[in-house]
Amino acid sequence: LVIQLVFMTYSNIFLQDRLKKLKSEHGKVQLGNISVDMVLGGMRGMTGMLWETSLLDPEEGIRFRGLSIPECQKVLPAAIKDGEPLPEGLLWLLLTGKVPTKEQVDALSKELLSRSKVPDHVYAAIDALPSSAHPMTQFTTGVMALQVSHFSSRLVLIAPLILASCSDHEGGNVSAHTGHLVIFIFLSCHLSLMIIQLQVGSALSDPYLSFAAALNGLAGPLHGLANQEVLLWIKSVIEETGSDISTDQLKEYVWKTLKSGKVVPGYGHGVLRQTDPRYTCQREFALKHLPEDPLFKLVSKLYEVVPPILTELGKVKNPWPNVDAHSGVLLNHFGLSEARYYTVLFGVSRGIGIGSQLIWDRALGLPLERPKSVTMEWLENYCKNK
Ligand code: NMX
Ligand code: MLT
């Protein structure tokens, strides 16, 4: 199986030639103009990097290797009939660009499981932290500790089913971009061993260091920590107003949050301009499996109440919910009520996407990323002389 997977991934090696051709024939084609707004606005809307595993459309949402979330749900193998796609199937798809069979996914799961023993020193490193350490700090510490082990030919994959859709969100999001930026590794393929053997080169960060950096970005409340924040916020609504909350009370609470200078967690997005399809797929799952869950009912009510309020604010580009508005409620329903762990699950899931693209970064020999920065004075002078 491993040989098959590596072969399929690298049989696409002709992509190196495609990349060379693209560069030599079209290297000078302009992809757009950079405005001062873009420079001051976190590089929004600048097309500036190559990311093969997924592509995000502002209206439609994410496509993994060309497949939308509903399409993935249809074609990727599930553990049970009509169940949700297995994360290993998504990993296969991201790596090879091909939809795997159930047998291939099962064999991959077995292979990964056989390589999933975590060395004792990793637990010791995590245990050495104070018990108050946030789970994301524990996670990053664990990943960093793995870096000094001989774990590098192994891949732990425990991505939970419902979060598989968070695996990749093209390259520009904070976590993926950070991982991509930091990753400059030598990758050699050990056909006989495992999918990937990642080795540290001189002054180059290996995947553990890179993934740890990505996780640190994910741990921010405007990015992955938002799923924790959403559940805590929803619980605070209930604490303050009781569970039988009216629409007017909810509106009032949303306004109160905004007036205190906070954002409404789980709403808005840096790229998307519609409801996140990951939210929609989780909502459909909830309608099927937990329609009476009181927190789900509240999340549904928020879907009616929040967008008009954010629209009224006048400055929010996307008033619709993102994935984090929903995931916590599902996890809570199935017994994971410790909201502080939610971002860890997001991180495990994101490892699938970052890891898959990492292989392609090396296969395609992508160069060191180093965009140019300028000072305010430079911009002022440039604009004056225009
Ligand atoms: N609640 C209140 N204000 C908001 C919200 C929101 N949910 N979303 C955007 N705004 C504000 C934003 O703070 C900015 O205000 P100001 O000009 O005063 O700084 C203004 O609207 C324009 O922001 P946008 O261009 O619409 O959004 P931007 O690309 O800057 O930020 C987010 C995107 C995701 C950071 C932002 O929508 C947000 O803070 N959302 C809440 C946190 C969240 O759910 N994050 C998870 C994102 C998904 N993920 O997993 O990473
Ligand atoms: C993500 O999944 O990374 C988030 O939706 C944020 C983004 O795409 O910028």
Q: Pinpoint the residues of the chain covered by CATH 1.10.580.10.
A: 2-25+48-221+344-363
CA distances from 88 to 98, 101, 167, 177, 224 (A): 13, 11, 11, 22, 22
- Quick check: CB of 322 below 6 Å from ligand 2? yes
- Quick check: CB of 9 below 6 Å from ligand 2? no
| 173 Cα nearest atom in ligand 2 | 9
Q: Where are the alpha helices (DSSP H) in 148-293?
A: 174-182, 207-218, 226-241, 247-259, 277-289
pLDDT of residue 163: 60
173 CA from centroid of ligand 2 (Å):
5
Question: Best substitution site from 166, 169, 345 to test ligand 2's pocket, by max atoms within 8 Å of Cβ?
Answer: 169
pLDDT of residue 11: 64
Please say if 106 is a catalytic residue. Answer: no
**Which residues of the chain are modeled with pLDDT < 70?**
1-3, 5-13, 149-161, 163, 181-204
pLDDT of residue 207: 81
Question: Best substitution site from 269, 272, 317 to test ligand 2's pocket, by max atoms within 8 Å of Cβ?
Answer: 269
Please say if 269 is a catalytic residue. Answer: yes
Listed in sequence order, the residues at least 6 apart from 160 whose beta carbon sits closer than 8 Å to its beta carbon are 87, 345, 348, 349
- How many other C-beta atoms are found inside a 10 Å radius of the C-beta of residue 372? 6
- Quick check: CB of 322 below 6 Å from ligand 1? yes
**What is the rounded CA–CA span in Å between residue 159 and residue 165?**
10
28-61 as b/e: b if 16+ CB within 10 A: eeeeeeeeeeebeeeeebbeeeebbbbbbeeeeb
Q: Assign a CATH topology to domain 226-342.
A: Cytochrome p450-Terp; domain 2 (1.10.230)
Both tokens assigned to 359: 């292989």
Residue that is written with structure tokens 């799961």 in the block:
109
| 174 Cα nearest atom in ligand 1 | 51
Radius of gyration of the chain (CA): 22
Choose among 278, 361, 354, 353: nearest CA to 93: 353
Concatenating the DSSP letter of every residue in 47-68 gives ------SEEEETTTEEEETTEE
316 CA from centroid of ligand 1 (Å):
7
- Quick check: CB of 264 below 6 Å from ligand 1? yes
Q: Pinpoint the residues of the chain covered by CATH 1.10.230.10.
A: 226-342
Listed in sequence order, the residues at least 6 apart from 377 whose beta carbon sits closer than 8 Å to its beta carbon are none
Q: Which of 206, 276, 324, 361 is catalytic?
A: 324
Tell me how many degrees the CA angle 216-135-242 measures, rounded to the nearest 5.
Answer: 110
Both tokens assigned to 343: 């971002």
**What is the rounded CA–CA span in Å between residue 266 and residue 32?**
31
**What is the rounded CA–CA span in Å between residue 331 and residue 348?**
15
Q: Where are the alpha helices (DSSP H) in the chain?
A: 2-10, 14-26, 36-40, 69-75, 87-96, 102-114, 120-127, 135-147, 174-182, 207-218, 226-241, 247-259, 277-289, 294-313, 324-333, 342-363, 376-384
Number of the ligand closest to the Cα of 175: 2
- Quick check: CB of 271 below 6 Å from ligand 2? yes
Please say if 82 is a catalytic residue. Answer: no
pTM summary value? 0.90
337 CA from centroid of ligand 1 (Å):
26
318 CA from centroid of ligand 1 (Å):
8
Amino acid at 42: G
- Quick check: CB of 318 below 6 Å from ligand 1? yes
Q: Assign a CATH topology to domain 2-25+48-221+344-363.
A: Citrate Synthase; domain 1 (1.10.580)
CB 187 within 8 A of CB 198: yes
pLDDT of residue 182: 64
CA distances from 23 to 14, 27, 31, 46, 324 (A): 14, 4, 13, 19, 38
Q: Which of 168, 269, 276, 361 is catalytic?
A: 269
